C-alpha cells in the first residue's frame, strides 16, 4: 500500500489484509457489505470514480504545445539535413514526414482534443513520484563517486518509510537486506563492474 | 512428415536443462507479477531485458514469453480473491470470479480459470504450430513495399486500439518513429539529431527506452496511484472444479479459445481485448444472462481462456511477419534484435531451433503454470501479502543496476531515468507509452523499406498502389485512419449532450 501524507498509514508491520486504502475510500470497512453487492456496472463506475482527477484544458494545451514544439523543431532540423526527392531522398526526408505528421497531430490535439479528459491532474500525491525521482537522480549522480550501496540504502529508506509508510523497524531491516542481497547478486555472484564502495 | 521434423527437433531444444530452467524462471516470474498488482508483463519484461544478454536467443525468448503468458494465469488470482485485477486482461474476471469467491467457490473459480487458461493456451500453441508456417510462407514474397504498408498498418492499429485518445497514441507513435531516426542514416551515413553527442551517434538503444518508459515510468506512476482497498484473501479450498462445473464451463472454454486465438493475431488485439470480448459473448449467449455478475462460472472460464489464447497467438505476427502486434511483442522484437535475430518470414526456415524451441516451450510452460495454479496456488496467495511499499524500491533498484550492466555505462542508467521521467509524464498526460516503443522498434524497418520501395518505384509514391498486397494494406490503413474521424463527426451530430462514460480500463504495461 502506498500511503500518502495526511492519511493514516498502514498499521505497523501489519499484513496487507488490514491495509486501509488511502484516499477517499478509507471508511471502507463500513461499506464493505455494500461494496460486495455491486453489479459489474456499478463496480466499473466505482473504479471510474476512483481514478485520479482529470486535468483541465491547461494540461492538454501544455502537452499539445510540447508536441508542437518538438514537431516544429524536428521540421527545421530535417530541412537543414536536406530533403532531396522521393527518388533520391536525403537524410532529412523521412524525419521531415514524421515531424509534419507530429505537427498536424499536435494542432489537432490542441484544437479538437481540448475537451478530452484523459490527462490526470497533478495532486498532492504527485509529490511521491517527484521525491522518488529525486532519489533516483541522486543515485545516478552518486553511484560513480561512492558506489551503489549507500545511495541504494537511502533510496530504499526514503521509498519505504516516507513514500510507503512502513515502520522504521521494517524499513531498516528490509532496506539493509535488500542492499546486501543486491551486493551479493551483482558484485559477488555476477561479478559485474557496478561501482561499489566495499 | 517433413513438416513435423523441425517441430520435433524443437522439443529437443526445449528439453535442454538451461532452457527448461529459464522456462520455469519465466513462468514463475510471470505468475508473481500477475499476482502482484502494479507491474504488468511489459514492464517486467522491459526491466529484465538485461538478463537476456548473456544467454542464447532461444533461451531468452523462452523466458520472456513465459513471463508474458504466466502473467495471464497469475492475474486471475487477485481478481478472484481480492476483486483487484492483477492484470488488465483479468479485469472482467473480477465480475464473476469475486462473486464466486464470496459464495465460497473461490477454489472452483481459480481451478476453472487455470484449466481454461491451460486449454486456451494449448489450443493456441497448436494453432500457432500450423498457422505460423503458412503465414510465413505467404509472407516470404513480401518485398519492401509490402513491409512498408504492413508496418504502417501495424503501428496505426496499435495506436488506435489502445485506450485513451487516438490522436495522443498517434503522437506517441510519431515520437517513437522520430527517436528511431536518431543516429547515423543507414543510406547516406550522415548523423541525424545527435547534436554532436558521440554516445548518440549509433542511435538510441532500445533497452534503455523500454526500461525507462515501461519499467521506471510505471514504477513512478504507481507511487502516486491510489491502491484500491485490499482485504483478506478469502480462504481457498478445493481448487479442483467438479464435473458439473467443468461441463457447464466447457462451452465457454471452447469459444474462448477460438475467440482469443483470432483476436490475438490481430495487431492491437491481445489478451485484454480478448478477455472482454469473451465475457461479452458469454453473457450474450447465456440463457440466463442475469446470472452474470452474480458468480457465473462461464464468466470466469471464458475470459481467462481467451486471454491466454490471445497471449499465445499474438506471437504469430511477430514470428512470421516480424511485425509485433502489441507493446509486449514489441519488447520481444527488441530482445530478438539485441540477440542478432531479425524476426520475419525467414525465421521458420533459417532458424527453426529458435522458432520451434520457443513455440514448444509454451507447452511446457503451460503445464508448469497449471501445476502452479492448481496444487500450488496457496503459495501464490501468500505472496499477496508482499506490500507495494517494499516492492517499489526493489524494482527501481533492479532497473537501475540492470541498466548499468548492459554496457557497463552510466550513460545507459541516465537514459533510463530520463525515459522514466518521460514515461511518467506521458502517463500523466494521457499518452500511452506502448505505441511509442512499438513505433521505435519498427522505425528503422519502416524507413528503410519505404526508401527502398521508392527507389524501386523511381520516386513515385503511387507505386505502392500498383502491387495488390501493399495496395490492400494501404487501403485498410486509410480506412482505419479515417474511421474515428467519420465516427466522431457522426457522434457529434447525434449525441452532443448525452455522453455516456464507459468504464475505461487502464492498460498496465
DSSP states of B182-241? -EE-TTT--EES-TT-GGGTT---HHHHHIIIIIIHHHHHHHHSPPPP--PPPP----S-
Contact between chains at A2 and B219 (C-beta distance less than 8 A): no
CA atoms within 13 A on the CB side of B265: 15
Q: How far apart are CA A79 and CA B239, in angstroms?
A: 64
Which chain A residues are closer than 8 Å to B451 by Cβ?
Answer: 89, 94
> According to the model, what pLDDT value does residue A36 have?
60
- Convert the pLDDT of each residue in B413-461 to its tens digit: 999 999 999 999 998 888 888 899 999 999 988 998 888 898 888 888 8
Q: How far apart are CA B385 and CA B314, in angstroms?
A: 32
Residues A178 and A129 in one domain: yes
Residue A125 touches partner B, C-beta closer than 8 Å: yes
Residue A111 touches partner B, C-beta closer than 8 Å: no
Number of neighbouring beta carbons within 10 Å of residue B384: 22
Residues A109 and A128 in one domain: no
Q: How far apart are CA B449 and CA B153, in angstroms?
A: 14
Question: B39: left (phi > 0), else alpha (psi -120 to 50), else beta?
Answer: beta
CA atoms within 13 A on the CB side of A69: 6
> According to the model, what pLDDT value does residue B508 have?
45
Backbone torsions φ then ψ of B404, nearest 5 degrees: -65, -40
Inform me whether the pLDDT recorded for B168 exceeds 60.
yes
Residues A97 and A77 in one domain: yes
Contact between chains at B226 and A59 (C-beta distance less than 8 A): no
ipTM for the whole predicted complex goes beyond 0.90: no
Contact between chains at A137 and B447 (C-beta distance less than 8 A): no
Contact between chains at B458 and A47 (C-beta distance less than 8 A): no
- Convert the pLDDT of each residue in B309-340 to its tens digit: 999 999 999 989 888 888 889 999 989 888 88
Is residue A29 within 8 Å of residue B231, measured between CB atoms?
no
Q: How far apart are CA A67 and CA A81, in angstroms?
A: 21
DSSP letter at A84?
B
> According to the model, what pLDDT value does residue B257 have?
94
Interface test with A, best of B385, B429, B451 (most A CBs within 10 A): B429
In chain B, % of residues over pLDDT 90: 29
Contact between chains at B227 and A59 (C-beta distance less than 8 A): no
> According to the model, what pLDDT value does residue A138 have?
93
Over residues B217-234, mean pLDDT? 69
Q: How far apart are CA B309 and CA B117, in angstroms?
A: 7
All structural domains of chain B with their residue ranges: 4-492
Domain count, chain A: 2
Residue with cell 453489479: A39
Where does the pLDDT of residue B205 fall: very low under 50, low under 70, confident under 90, or very high at 90 and above? confident
Is residue B248 within 8 Å of residue B122, measured between CB atoms?
no
**Range of the structural domain that residue A78 is part of:** 57-115
In a domain, A147, yes or no: yes
- Higher local confidence (pLDDT), B145 or B241: B145
Is residue B216 within 8 Å of residue B399, measured between CB atoms?
yes
> According to the model, what pLDDT value does residue A83 have?
86
Residues A135 and A98 in one domain: no
Over residues B71-78, mean pLDDT? 85
> According to the model, what pLDDT value does residue A9 have?
35
Inform me whether the pLDDT recorded for B23 exceeds 90.
yes
Over residues B481-485, mean pLDDT? 78
- As a whole number of angstroms, the longest Cα–Cα distance in chain A is 71
* Triad B189, B195, B199: Cα angle to 5°: 75
Nearest Cβ partner of B167 from A95, A109, A159? Answer: A109
Residues A110 and A130 in one domain: no
Does residue B451 sit in helix, strand or coil?
Answer: helix
Class of residue B184 by CB neighbours under 10 A (exposed 0-12, middle 13-18, buried 19+): middle
Over residues B84-111, mean pLDDT? 84
> According to the model, what pLDDT value does residue B77 have?
85
Contact between chains at A116 and B165 (C-beta distance less than 8 A): yes
In a domain, A161, yes or no: yes
Where does the pLDDT of residue B489 fall: very low under 50, low under 70, confident under 90, or very high at 90 and above? confident
Residues A146 and A176 in one domain: yes
Among all residues of chain A, which has the CA nearest to that of B231? Answer: A17
Residues A63 and A81 in one domain: yes
Does residue B381 sit in helix, strand or coil?
Answer: helix
Over residues B194-210, mean pLDDT? 84
The tens place of each residue's pLDDT in chain A, 198 residues long, gives 333 333 333 333 333 333 333 333 334 444 455 556 666 677 777 777 767 777 777 888 888 899 999 999 999 998 888 888 887 788 888 999 999 999 999 998 888 877 777 788 887 778 888 999 999 999 999 998 998 999 999 999 999 888 888 889 999 999 999 999 999 988 888 888 888 888
In chain B, % of residues over pLDDT 70: 93
Q: How far apart are CA B113 and CA B121, in angstroms?
A: 12
> According to the model, what pLDDT value does residue B506 have?
47
Q: How far apart are CA B24 and CA B18, in angstroms?
A: 10
Residues A108 and A150 in one domain: no
Which chain B residues are closer than 8 Å to A116 by Cβ?
Answer: 165, 430
Q: Which residues contact A19 (CB under 8 A, 6 or more apart)?
A: A1, A10, A11, B230, B387
Backbone torsions φ then ψ of B184, nearest 5 degrees: -80, 135
In a domain, A40, yes or no: no
- Would you say how long chain B is, in residues? 509
Residues A104 and A131 in one domain: no
- For the record, the C-alpha cell of B214 comes out as 515501461
Which chain A residues are closer than 8 Å to B170 by Cβ?
Answer: 101, 105
Nearest Cβ partner of A105 from B167, B400, B451? Answer: B167
Q: What is the pTM of this model?
A: 0.83
Number of neighbouring beta carbons within 10 Å of residue B346: 13
Question: A6: left (phi > 0), else alpha (psi -120 to 50), else beta?
Answer: left
Q: Which residue in A26, A162, A137 sits closest to B424, CA to CA?
A: A137
In a domain, A143, yes or no: yes
- For the record, the C-alpha cell of B378 comes out as 496457496
Which chain B residues are closer than 8 Å to A194 by Cβ?
Answer: 401, 404-405
* Triad B288, B292, B296: Cα angle to 5°: 95
Q: Which of A87, A115, A143 is the last residue of a domain?
A: A115
- Would you say how long chain A is, in residues? 198
Class of residue B486 by CB neighbours under 10 A (exposed 0-12, middle 13-18, buried 19+): exposed
Amino acid at each position: 500500500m502506498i500511503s500518502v501524507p495526511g492519511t493514516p498509514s498502514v498499521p505497523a508491520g501489519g499484513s496487507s489484509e488490514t491495509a486501509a486504502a488511502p484516499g477517499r475510500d478509507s471508511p471502507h470497512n463500513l461499506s464493505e457489505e455494500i461494496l460486495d453487492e455491486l453489479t459489474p456496472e456499478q463496480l466499473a463506475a466505482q473504479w471510474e470514480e476512483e481514478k485520479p482527477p482529470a486535468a483541465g484544458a491547461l494540461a492538454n494545451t501544455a502537452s499539445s504545445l510540447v508536441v508542437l514544439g518538438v514537431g516544429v523543431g524536428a521540421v527545421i532540423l530535417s530541412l537543414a539535413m536536406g530533403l532531396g526527392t522521393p527518388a533520391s531522398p536525403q537524410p532529412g526526408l523521412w524525419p521531415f514526414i514524421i515531424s509534419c505528421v507530429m505537427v498536424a497531430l499536435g494542432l489537432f490535439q490542441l484544437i479538437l482534443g481540448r475537451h478530452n479528459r484523459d490527462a490526470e491532474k497533478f495532486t498532492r500525491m504527485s509529490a511521491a513520484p517527484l521525491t522518488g525521482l529525486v532519489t533516483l537522480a541522486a543515485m545516478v549522480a552518486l553511484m560513480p563517486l561512492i558506489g551503489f550501496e549507500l545511495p541504494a540504502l537511502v533510496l530504499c529508506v526514503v521509498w519505504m518509510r516516507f513514500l510507503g509508510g512502513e515502520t522504521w523497524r521494517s524499513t531498516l531491516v528490509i532496506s539493509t537486506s535488500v542492499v546486501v542481497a543486491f551486493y551479493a547478486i551483482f558484485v559477488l555472484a555476477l561479478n559485474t563492474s557496478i561501482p561499489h564502495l566495499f | 512428415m517433413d513438416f513435423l521434423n523441425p517441430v520435433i527437433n524443437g522439443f529437443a531444444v526445449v528439453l535442454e536443462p538451461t532452457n527448461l530452467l529459464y522456462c520455469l524462471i519465466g513462468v514463475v516470474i510471470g505468475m508473481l507479477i500477475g499476482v502482484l498488482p502494479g507491474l504488468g508483463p511489459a514492464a517486467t519484461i522491459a526491466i529484465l531485458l538485461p538478463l537476456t544478454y548473456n544467454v542464447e536467443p532461444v533461451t531468452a525468448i523462452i523466458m520472456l514469453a513465459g513471463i508474458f503468458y504466466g502473467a495471464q494465469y497469475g492475474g486471475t488470482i487477485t481478481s478472484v480473491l481480492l476483486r483487484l485485477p492483477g492484470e488488465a486482461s483479468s479485469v472482467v474476471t473480477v465480475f464473476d470470479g469475486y462473486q464466486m469467491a464470496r459464495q465460497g467457490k473461490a477454489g472452483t473459480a481459480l481451478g476453472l480459470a487455470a484449466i481454461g487458461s491451460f486449454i486456451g493456451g494449448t489450443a493456441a500453441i497448436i494453432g500457432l504450430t500450423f498457422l505460423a508456417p503458412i503465414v510465413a510462407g505467404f509472407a516470404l514474397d513480401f518485398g519492401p513495399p509490402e513491409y512498408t504498408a504492413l508496418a504502417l498498418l501495424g503501428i496505426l492499429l496499435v495506436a488506435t486500439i489502445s485506450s485513451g485518445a487516438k490522436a495522443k497514441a498517434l503522437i506517441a507513435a510519431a515520437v517513437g518513429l522520430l527517436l528511431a531516426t536518431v543516429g547515423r542514416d543507414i543510406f547516406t551515413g550522415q548523423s541525424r539529431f545527435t547534436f554532436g553527442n558521440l554516445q548518440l551517434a549509433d542511435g538510441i538503444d532500445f533497452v534503455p527506452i523500454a526500461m525507462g518508459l515501461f519499467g521506471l515510468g510505471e514504477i513512478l506512476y504507481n507511487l502516486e496511484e491510489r491502491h484500491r482497498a485490499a482485504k483478506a484473501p478469502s480462504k481457498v479450498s478445493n481448487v479442483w472444479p467438479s464435473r458439473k462445473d467443468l461441463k457447464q464451463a466447457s462451452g465457454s472454454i471452447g469459444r474462448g479459445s477460438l475467440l482469443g486465438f483470432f483476436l490475438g493475431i490481430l495487431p492491437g488485439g491481445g489478451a485484454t481485448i480478448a478477455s472482454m470480448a469473451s465475457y461479452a459473448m458469454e453473457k450474450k449467449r447465456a440463457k440466463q444472462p442475469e446470472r452474470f455478475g452474480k458468480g457465473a462460472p462461464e464468466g470466469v472460464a471464458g475470459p481467462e481462456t481467451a486471454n491466454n489464447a490471445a497471449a499465445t497467438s499474438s506471437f504469430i505476427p511477430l514470428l512470421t511477419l516480424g511485425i509485433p502486434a502489441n507493446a509486449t511483442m514489441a519488447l520481444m522484437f527488441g530482445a530478438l534484435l539485441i540477440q542478432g535475430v531479425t524476426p520475419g518470414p525467414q525465421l521458420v526456415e533459417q532458424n527453426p531451433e529458435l522458432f520451434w524451441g520457443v513455440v514448444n516451450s509454451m507447452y511446457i510452460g503451460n503445464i508448469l503454470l497449471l501445476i502452479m495454479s492448481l496444487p500450488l496456488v496457496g503459495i501464490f496467495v501468500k505472496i499477496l501479502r508482499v506490500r507495494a511499499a517494499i516492492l517499489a524500491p526493489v524494482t527501481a533498484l533492479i532497473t537501475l543496476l540492470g541498466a548499468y550492466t548492459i554496457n557497463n555505462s552510466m550513460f545507459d542508467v541516465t537514459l533510463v531515468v530520463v525515459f522514466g521521467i518521460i514515461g511518467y509524464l506521458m502517463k500523466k498526460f494521457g499518452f500511452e507509452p506502448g505505441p511509442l516503443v512499438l513505433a521505435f522498434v519498427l522505425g528503422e524497418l519502416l524507413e528503410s523499406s519505404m526508401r527502398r520501395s521508392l527507389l524501386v518505384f523511381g520516386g513515385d509514391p503511387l507505386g505502392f498502389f500498383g502491387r495488390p498486397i501493399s495496395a490492400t494494406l494501404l487501403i485498410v490503413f486509410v480506412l482505419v485512419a479515417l474511421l474515428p474521424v467519420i465516427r466522431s463527426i457522426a457522434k457529434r451530430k447525434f449525441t452532443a449532450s448525452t455522453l455516456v462514460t464507459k468504464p475505461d480500463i487502464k492498460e498496465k504495461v
